C-alpha cells in the first residue's frame, strides 16, 4: 500500500474513484467474479485505479478492467439533451478480500 502512494500523488488518488456503481449487472459481476464496479475519472489509468482502491479500502487488487461508456442522447420535449460519457472500472479483488462501503473497518 505504501508503494502505491509513493508512486502516485495521494490527493489525485482520492479523486480517481467518483462513485461505486450499484446496478443489477454490477451485483451479478460481484457475485460471480469478486469484482467491484466504480465510476472513475475520464483520464484515470488502470495502475492509478488499482492504487486508489488499495489505498482507500485497504484491500489487495488482482486486476482492473476499464470500459468507456458513451452518453446516450435523450429528448426532453422539443430539446435534445445528452448524458455524460462515463468511464467504468471493474476492480477484481484477490481471493478472500472483501470491500465494505459502510465505512467501518473489521
pLDDT in tens, 16-54: 999 999 999 999 998 999 899 999 999 999 999 999 998
82 C-beta neighbours (distance < 10 Å), count: 10
Does residue 4 lie within any of the structural domains?
no
User: What pLDDT is attached to residue 89?
Assistant: 95
Does residue 35 lie within any of the structural domains?
yes
The total of structural domains in the chain comes to 1
Query: Is residue 86 packed enough to be buried (19+ CB in 10 Å), middle (13-18) or exposed (0-12)?
Result: middle
User: What pLDDT is attached to residue 106?
Assistant: 46
All three cell numbers of 27: 451485483
Confidence of residue 11 (pLDDT cuts 50, 70, 90): confident
Does residue 36 lie within any of the structural domains?
yes
User: What pLDDT is attached to residue 103?
Assistant: 55
Does residue 100 lie within any of the structural domains?
no
Amino acid at each position: 500500500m505504501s508503494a502505491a502512494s509513493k508512486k502516485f500523488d495521494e490527493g489525485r488518488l482520492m479523486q480517481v474513484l467518483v462513485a461505486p456503481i450499484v446496478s443489477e449487472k454490477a451485483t451479478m459481476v460481484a457475485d460471480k467474479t469478486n469484482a467491484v464496479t466504480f465510476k472513475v475519472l475520464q483520464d484515470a489509468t488502470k495502475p492509478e485505479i488499482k492504487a486508489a482502491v488499495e489505498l482507500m479500502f485497504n484491500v489487495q487488487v488482482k486486476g482492473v478492467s476499464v470500459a468507456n461508456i458513451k452518453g446516450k442522447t435523450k429528448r426532453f420535449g422539443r430539446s435534445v439533451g445528452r448524458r455524460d460519457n462515463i468511464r467504468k472500472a471493474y476492480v477484481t479483488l484477490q481471493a478472500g478480500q472483501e470491500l465494505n462501503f459502510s465505512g467501518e473497518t473489521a
